[in-house]
Chains A and B, each alone.
Chain A
Amino acid sequence: MKNLEELRKLREKAQKEIQLRSKDAKIKVVVGMGTSGIAAGAREVLKAFITEINQKNLTDVMVTQTGEKGMSSMEPIVEIHEEKKPVIIYGDMNPSKVKKVVEEHIVNGKVVEDYLISMEEK
């Protein structure tokens, strides 16, 4: 790392790469994987997303992780990011709920209101 100029170039590159990745992937599923999330079952939720998405051969969906948002009582928490749409945050997830989210939301574009905690405008 030579200077700020180089850092800024690196940042642009990183931003582009992240964008590119999300361009291939129309939908990004982000699972909260802090200690609270994992203790509440986030690992099973993450696995369930990967299994469901693979089974359905959904090539434009990517699954990734993040830390804790702070809402411990609602863990495991999952966010669904899609371009030009508000971020959908689901709480208290489990593998069977994942199945429903994949079928209804990811495949058919319909938010599963029962699991919804909130939406965030980008």
Chain B
Amino acid sequence: MAHRLNVLVCSGASCISNDSLKVKEAMLAEIDRLGLNKEIKVIETGCMGPCQLGPVILVYPDETLYKKVQVEDVREIVEQHFLKGRPVERLMYKSPLTDELVHKSSEVDYFQKQVKIVLANCGNIDPESIEEYIAVGGYEALGKAVTEMTPDTVLNEIKISGLRGRGGGGFPTHMKWMFTKNEKSDEKYVICNADEGDPGAFMDRSVIEGDPHTLIEGMAIAGYVVGASKGYVYVRAEYPLAIERLQKAISQAKDVGFLGEKIFQSDFSFDLEVRVGAGAFVCGEETALIHSIEGKRGTPRPRPPYPSASGVWGKPTVLNNVETYANVRHIILNGGAWMAKIGTETSKGTKVFALSGTIKNTGLAEVPMGTTIRELIYDIGGGAPEGHEIKAVQLGGPSGGCVTPEYFDTPIDYESLTQLGAMMGSGGVIAMDETACMVNTAKFFLDFTCFESCGKCTPCRVGLKQMYGLLDKITKGEGEEGDIEALEKLGNTIKTTALCGLGQTAPNPVLSTIKYFRHEYEEHIHDKKCRALVCKDLISYEIDAEKCKACTLCAQKCPVDAIRGQRGVIHVIEQEKCVSCGSCYDVCPFGAVQRLSGEN
């Protein structure tokens, strides 16, 4: 019978002198103990070469190479790798240049689970060099579209691809384009929404900074389809580097003739201009963004008319976000059917997520739609740091909601996330562990949306403020029976009555935390307890007399002189004076200061 794993233990002279045989015996014993004898075969081999790294062990078929293995390491290797399939990183061999066996990046989960379409060039080409972009096939899609395809055939490829808006809502891109194309007008516009305002999202910035020409090419193709000759990229002022690189790229494209008059000697002319935002979150909403481009206050207006009929300067306008446009050239070059093969039934292609919070590998990850939340945060994100556990992830920023571990196996697509009460949003993923208070997190998002509310409609301007007030009360230990129900009622009212998408989604962080963490709200209200020890007014500090070494450090740091005691006399915190600032907790070198909540 074939074995599942073959373990080659080097018994070259050098490895033997480093006790490789003892390692082998220990391994056999461990395999025996776990009853893996029939699955795993241990073989002694001759010298494998890298003697300075001995004892060396090679595991087939996955070709993991362990170096400097000691008897004490054996148990970990057998249990973790042979039994659970998780190779022991710290013992793995990272080879110098010339060796054939390397810890290849394509074999690491972080990379393996990712499919790079939007980010294909990011981190691989010089974003300030149009030559490098051309060298990797840049502007071929634009050339192909305007010289070999009609606007209708391009549109059809977009339709086949199943591309949907990556900015949050997930509206089918081809339909937006078609509506704009069908409008009759002397002038039409193409706009890119690069007002990436969701806290925790930074994929659009990375694309513009790392591969600005991809955006230009995507927008020019959109212009060709809908019959527009002018486009705007609306970039938020907080992204100075992105603005600089994009402006540079636009002028390079003009010089070579990818923008300007009669592109590729066709009748198609297209020009792009960068418009810089001025720090208003609401400008991520399409009608508000259009007002801002026009130089006005960025307030939204009711739709219809949609921008496809009446957009910037009252002309038909197609408006997509950065990531959506960045997909376009790949669809033209590879065909719509190619993208339709990636993803789920309703959501095609990939999505870039920005991982942050309490997670090991913070950063960007591009995965096929349908990847599960678990794969995203554990396989790619590496899970929470040692000793912590993720209790929820917040998806979609201030418009989204949180998702708890029992739903982590949900495949990510537009519909399933909305069903969970979260949202694809722009793709921000914030992992939270037991040190995050869900009520406080909800309050944080409400504080954000209250501040950013443009004030035009009452549900958003007044309603959110009321919700914030309730949350503030609860986190201060003044919550009362009925507050949760009031939050739910207000939240649902705002959802159905606010003018724009931002107002309509603003209650989501509150409603979803109530849905999944109602017990935390109840604890705050009834037991005056914050289990995460975050809400200041619900925490008290006490000194553990057993651990206190009477060093006076805490007493020195206390801003209100609430700590009694002196050198040699155990310290005590006078509760009536204490303001729960936490300074003593931060400075105590012995861990003697304890935080308590809801104990009395």
Q: Which residues from chain A sit less than 8 Å from chain B, CB to CB?
A: 1-4, 7-8, 10-11, 14-15, 17-18, 32, 34-36, 38, 64-74, 77, 82, 85-86, 88-89, 109-111, 113, 116-121
Contacts and interface: CB of A to CB of B under 8 A. Distances in A.
Contacts of A35: 202, 205, 209, 239, 241-242
Nearest to B256: A1
Contact of B102 (A77, A82, A110, A119): A119
A43 B319 CA distance: 35
B144 A1 contact: no
B123 A70 contact: yes
A67 B215 CA distance: 14
A113 B103 CA distance: 12
Nearest to B258: A1
Contacts, number: 142
Contacts of A7: 134, 139-140, 143, 264
A70 B365 contact: yes
Given A1-B258, A34-B206, A73 B127 contact: no
Contact of B132 (A4, A8, A18, A120): A18
B264 A10 contact: no
A72 B264 contact: no
Given A2-B265, A70-B365, A118-B108, A109 B97 contact: yes
Interface string B95-118: 111100011111010110000000
B124 interface: yes
Interface string B207-239: 001110000000000000000000000000001
A68 B210 contact: yes
Given A4-B144, A68-B206, 19 more contacts: A1-B263, A3-B143, A4-B148, A4-B264, A7-B139, A10-B256, A15-B135, A34-B241, A35-B202, A66-B125, A67-B210, A67-B211, A68-B122, A70-B365, A77-B123, A111-B97, A113-B96, A118-B103, A119-B105
Contact of A64 (B126, B148, B264): B126
A118 B102 CA distance: 9
B416 interface: no
Contacts of B202: 35-36
Contacts of A70: 119, 122-123, 206, 363-366
A69 B362 CA distance: 12
Contacts of B105: 89, 117-120
Contact of B264 (A3, A38, A71): A3
B135 A14 contact: yes
Nearest to A1: B257
A45 to B, nearest CB: 15
Interface of B: 94-98, 102-106, 108, 110-111, 119, 121-128, 131-132, 134-135, 137-140, 143-144, 147-148, 202, 205-206, 209-211, 239, 241-242, 256-258, 263-265, 360-366
Contact of A17 (B131, B147, B365): B131
A42 to B, nearest CB: 11
B18 to A, nearest CB: 19
A120 B111 CA distance: 11
A118 B108 CA distance: 9
A3 B134 contact: no
A111 B239 CA distance: 35
B140 A4 contact: yes
Contacts of A119: 94-95, 102-105
Contacts of A89: 105
A30 to B, nearest CB: 8
18 contacts: A4-B140, A7-B143, A7-B264, A11-B137, A11-B140, A14-B134, A14-B135, A65-B126, A66-B122, A66-B126, A67-B127, A68-B209, A70-B123, A118-B108, A118-B111, A119-B95, A119-B102, A121-B106
B104, B123, B137 pick with most chain A CB within 10 angstroms: B123
Contacts of A86: 97, 102, 104
B123 A14 contact: no
Nearest to A34: B209
A121 B147 CA distance: 36
A72 B363 contact: yes
B239 A4 contact: no
A71 B361 CA distance: 7
Contacts of A11: 134-135, 137-138, 140
A100 to B, nearest CB: 15
Nearest to B380: A70
Contacts of B131: 14, 17-18
A25 to B, nearest CB: 14
B147 A4 contact: yes
